[in-house]
């Protein structure tokens, strides 16, 4: 008797489901070639494979299955559970109904949970399949068993804990991932924790929060790696890679890293990337001053970006969405350029790009005449951005730096020279549109490996005033300026040296190549 004759209801199930079930029972070798994994191997009825599989299914005694999705493969499974009927309040035992297989399903950039119910009343059959599936799941690389979770309870609208408890923790439980949760009590708590906790207990770190929290955890994790490797961070050192991958559950207002990584802010997608062990290496920058390491980070802004964050931080009492818009408007109202000297090393293996008429730059430019040579520019700048990731966010769905990638070994250096407020606003307003935000004569972009940023000639210095014998005196003090590093504010007074370190950090996630298809809308300009 064929399988179809034995179990007529099963013939209506999607072919891919039959394919999955069959692969579970190929003794010793549950795998089918890649090209066959996403589709039923034989389209024509009665071919050799389908007959073999049908026989196997007949032997297993599968009586019924339900599943709506198509095109899945074994690697999409992240959990298997025994399915039992239990009366209300009953916690153990119950009548066995079969197995439930949990799957990760991709819908565009989103990942969601799916399931297949395999109905079978035999304890013996279910025990065998359960064991075999568990073995398969344990064999997948990078899937974490234990995570250190760090939650900032104050991020954005204070929703981080809820987001974790409602959307993430149940999935981790389903996937049998152990978690050790710390809810931070003060700014800098995550950094202190990562400096001293025993990381060997964990397979990965998870940060639930906004950009500032992610930045602190990224820095903490990389700093810890340097401490463990005995690196002297006060010299021009070559950093070692972070020991554990980092997962990000976005709970902030802008969530630049989460957007750049997942293309969307969706806690379930982020959680499933972690569960499935999807790893994406990213390039990281180190920020040093006077040969002293200040910070590891992924993006930085000086000028408009730094001042906006400084104002936003001073108005933390405002709701976060209003705070950001308020800070943008206030900084625009007082728009002033800063004098700045920039030295940079263009990327060796890629042409740096100009987005303005190069003829107009002859007065300021020491033209690049070979690869690997330092270049220098100086003048009055409204904003300088240095970014090792594309920095996607709702205000810039294609990215603040769409000309770089997560791990392409380059940083984007974007320089906005002094211009009128009106022109600068035009440049900002292009970020959420499909128009090129760099196509202005006052904007220049380069792909670089290293940057030195020096600001504030004597006439720009901050002066402190005092009175002596009735006379007013001024003392020039150091020029302190605000640097926005991944949404965290850093006040600096001397030259900043920014170096790129390719693939220094592994993140749980995937690479988003099709940036232009993102439909997010601007909310602040
Ligand atoms: N318990 C805490 N109390 C106060 N500050 C905290 C606490 N935990 C973390 N922080 C700090 O809060 C800062 C901002 O956090 P985060 O970026 O997560 O929120 P946000 O600013 O609301 O989000 P976004 O940056 O997306 O607007 C971080 O720099 C972090 O160091």
DSSP assignment of 425-493: HHHHHTTTSSS-TT-STTEEEEEEEEEEEEE--GGGS-EEEEEETTEEEEEE----EEEEETTEEEEE-
Torsion of CA 493, 454, 353, 346, to 10 degrees: -100
Fold of 146-283: Rossmann fold (3.40.50)
Determine the Cα–Cα distance for residues 389 and 45; give it in Å rounded to an integer.
49
Whether 216 is in the pocket of ligand 1, judged by its Cβ within 6 Å, is yes
Whether 247 is in the pocket of ligand 1, judged by its Cβ within 6 Å, is no
- 154-168, 394-408, 505-519 — which is least confidently predicted? 505-519
What's the gap in Å between 235 CA and the centre of ligand 1?
A: 30
- Phi/psi at 46 (nearest 5 deg)? 75, 10
Residue 375: per-residue pLDDT: 93
- ipTM score assigned to the predicted complex: 0.95
Closest Cα to atom 16 of ligand 1: 210
Residue 15: per-residue pLDDT: 47
Q: Where on the phi/psi map is residue 73: left (φ > 0), alpha (ψ -120 to 50), or beta?
A: beta
Residue 48: per-residue pLDDT: 40
The predicted-structure confidence for 285-324, as pLDDT tens digits, reads as follows 999 988 889 999 999 999 999 999 999 888 888 887 788 8
Residue 348: per-residue pLDDT: 66
Whether 493 is in the pocket of ligand 1, judged by its Cβ within 6 Å, is no
Q: Which of 73, 76, 203, 211 is catalytic?
A: 211
Domain edges within the chain: 3-139, 146-283, 295-460+477-501
Q: Which atom of ligand 1 is nearest to the CA of 253?
A: 26
> Which of 258-262, 370-374, 464-468, 520-524 is predicted most confidently?
258-262
pLDDT band at 36 (very low <50, low <70, confident <90, very high): very low
Closest Cα to atom 27 of ligand 1: 253
Q: How far is CA 116 from CA 3, 64, 77, in A?
A: 19, 11, 10
Averaged confidence pLDDT in the chain: 78
Letter string b/e over residues 98-126, b meaning 16 or more CB atoms within 10 A of that residue's CB: bbbbbbbbeeeeebebbbbebbbeeeebb
Whether 252 is in the pocket of ligand 1, judged by its Cβ within 6 Å, is yes
Whether 408 is in the pocket of ligand 1, judged by its Cβ within 6 Å, is no
The CATH classification of domain 295-460+477-501, taken from the options 2.60.200.40, 2.130.10.10, 3.40.50.12160, 2.60.40.3880: 2.60.200.40
Determine the Cα–Cα distance for residues 115 and 79; give it in Å rounded to an integer.
9
> Which of 478-481's residues contact partners 24+ apart within 8 Å by CB, and which partners?
479/455, 481/302, 481/306, 481/338, 481/455, 481/456
211 given a catalytic annotation:
yes
Residue 202: per-residue pLDDT: 96
Whether 204 is in the pocket of ligand 1, judged by its Cβ within 6 Å, is no
> Which of 367-372's residues contact partners 24+ apart within 8 Å by CB, and which partners?
371/346, 372/345, 372/346, 372/348
What's the gap in Å between 318 CA and the centre of ligand 1?
A: 14
Q: Which atom of ligand 1 is nearest to the CA of 252?
A: 26
Residue 368: per-residue pLDDT: 45
Whether 73 shows a pLDDT value over 90: the answer reads no
CB atoms within 10 A of CB 35: 8
Q: What's the pTM?
A: 0.79
Determine the Cα–Cα distance for residues 124 and 61; give it in Å rounded to an integer.
11
CB atoms within 10 A of CB 374: 12
Determine the Cα–Cα distance for residues 49 and 5; give it in Å rounded to an integer.
17
Q: Which atom of ligand 1 is nearest to the CA of 215?
A: 29
pLDDT band at 253 (very low <50, low <70, confident <90, very high): confident
The predicted-structure confidence for 211-245, as pLDDT tens digits, reads as follows 889 999 999 999 999 999 999 888 788 999 999 99
> Which of 333-336's residues contact partners 24+ apart within 8 Å by CB, and which partners?
335/304, 335/382, 335/421, 335/424
């Amino acid at each position: 008797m064929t399988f179809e004759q034995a179990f007529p209801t099963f013939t209506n199930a999607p072919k891919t489901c039959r394919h999955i079930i069959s692969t579970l029972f190929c003794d010793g070798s549950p795998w089918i070639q890649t090209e066959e994994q996403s589709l039923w191997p034989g389209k024509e009825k009665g071919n050799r494979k389908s007959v073999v599989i049908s026989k196997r299914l007949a032997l297993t005694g599968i009586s019924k299955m339900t599943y709506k999705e198509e095109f899945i493969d074994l690697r999409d499974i992240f959990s298997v559970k025994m399915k039992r009927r239990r009366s209300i309040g009953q916690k153990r035992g119950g009548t066995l109904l079969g197995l439930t297989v949990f799957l990760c399903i991709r819908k565009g950039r989103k990942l969601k949970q799916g399931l297949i119910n395999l109905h079978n009343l035999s304890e013996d059959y279910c025990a065998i399949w359960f064991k075999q599936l568990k073995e398969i799941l344990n064999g997948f690389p990078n899937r974490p068993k234990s995570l250190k979770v760090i939650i900032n309870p104050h991020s954005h609208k204070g929703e981080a804990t809820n987001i974790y408890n409602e959307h993430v923790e149940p999935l981790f439980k389903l996937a049998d991932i152990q978690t050790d949760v710390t809810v931070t009590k003060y700014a800098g708590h995550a950094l202190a924790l990562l400096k001293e906790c025993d990381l060997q207990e964990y397979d990965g770190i998870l940060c639930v929060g906004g950009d500032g929290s992610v930045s602190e955890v990224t820095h903490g994790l990389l700093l810890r790696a340097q401490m463990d490797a005995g690196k002297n961070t006060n010299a021009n050192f070559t950093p070692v890679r972070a020991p554990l991958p980092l997962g990000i559950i976005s709970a902030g207002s802008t969530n630049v890293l989460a957007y750049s990584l997942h293309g969307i802010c969706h806690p379930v997608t982020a959680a499933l990337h972690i569960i499935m062990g999807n790893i994406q290496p990213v390039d990281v920058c180190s920020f040093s001053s006077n040969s002293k390491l200040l910070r590891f980070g992924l993006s930085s802004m000086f000028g408009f970006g730094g001042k906006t964050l400084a104002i936003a931080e001073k108005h933390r009492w405002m709701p976060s969405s209003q705070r950001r818009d308020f800070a943008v408007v206030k900084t625009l109202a007082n728009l002033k350029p800063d004098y700045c000297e920039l030295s940079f090393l263009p990327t060796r293996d890629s042409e740096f790009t100009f987005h303005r008429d190069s003829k107009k730059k002859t007065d300021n430019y020491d033209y690049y005449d070979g690869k690997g040579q330092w270049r220098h520019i100086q003048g009055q700048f409204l904003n300088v951005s240095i970014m090792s990731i594309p920095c996607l966010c709702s205000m810039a769905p294609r990215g603040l730096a769409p000309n770089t990638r997560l791990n392409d070994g380059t940083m984007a250096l974007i320089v906005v020279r002094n211009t009128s407020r009106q022109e600068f606003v035009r440049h900002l307003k292009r970020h959420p549109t499909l128009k090129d935000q760099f196509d202005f004569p006052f904007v220049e972009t380069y792909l670089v490996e290293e940057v030195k940023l020096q600001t504030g000639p004597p006439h720009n210095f901050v002066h402190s005033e005092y009175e002596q014998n009735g006379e007013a005196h001024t003392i020039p003090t150091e020029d302190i300026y605000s640097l926005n590093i991944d949404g965290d504010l850093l006040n600096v007074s001397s030259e900043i040296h920014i170096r790129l370190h390719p693939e220094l950090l592994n993140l749980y996630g995937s690479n988003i190549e099709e940036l232009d298809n993102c439909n997010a809308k601007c909310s602040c300009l």
